[in-house]
């Protein structure tokens, strides 16, 4: 399974990626995770390029969208960082 995690360097995203890597690397061998193997984790964050997002969306089987702005200085930052990115992500997923 190929999993895309957006917001991969935020608190929740970082911990999710660590847990997924433990499954991928055989450190968490619980039977309920065996259906995920082989597992590829694709991490996307604010400093990633639009091309990387498009590439990840073209290959992803599942997406955790954890990207977002929590404490913006201005309302426009909230809309761009949350609604704006979610729209970009959905557009990329629809293309693929």
**DSSP for residue 39:** -
- Round to whole Å and give the CA distance between 60 and 9: 18
41-68 average pLDDT score: 96
**Would the pLDDT of 2 be above 90?**
yes
Q: What is the CATH number of the domain that holds 84?
A: 3.40.50.720
- Round to whole Å and give the CA distance between 49 and 51: 5
Residue of 2, 3, 1, 6 whose CA lies nearest to 89: 6
Which range marks the domain in which residue 71 is found? 2-95
Structural domains in the chain (count): 1
Instruction: Classify strands 40-44 and 2-6 as parallel, antiparallel or unpaired.
Output: parallel
**Would the pLDDT of 18 be above 90?**
yes
**Would the pLDDT of 68 be above 90?**
no
Q: What is the pLDDT of residue 72?
A: 78
Question: Is the distance from CB of 31 to CB of 70 less than 8 angstroms?
Answer: no
């Amino acid at each position: 399974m190929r999993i895309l995690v957006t917001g991969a360097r935020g608190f929740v995203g970082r911990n999710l990626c660590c847990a997924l890597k433990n499954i991928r690397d055989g450190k968490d061998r619980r039977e309920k995770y065996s259906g995920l193997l082989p597992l590829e984790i694709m991490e996307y964050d604010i400093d990633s390029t639009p091309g990387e997002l498009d590439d990840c969306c073209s290959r992803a089987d599942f997406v955790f969208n954890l990207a977002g702005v929590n404490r913006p200085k201005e309302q426009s930052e909230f809309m761009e960082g949350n609604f704006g990115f979610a729209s970009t992500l959905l557009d990329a997923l629809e293309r693929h």
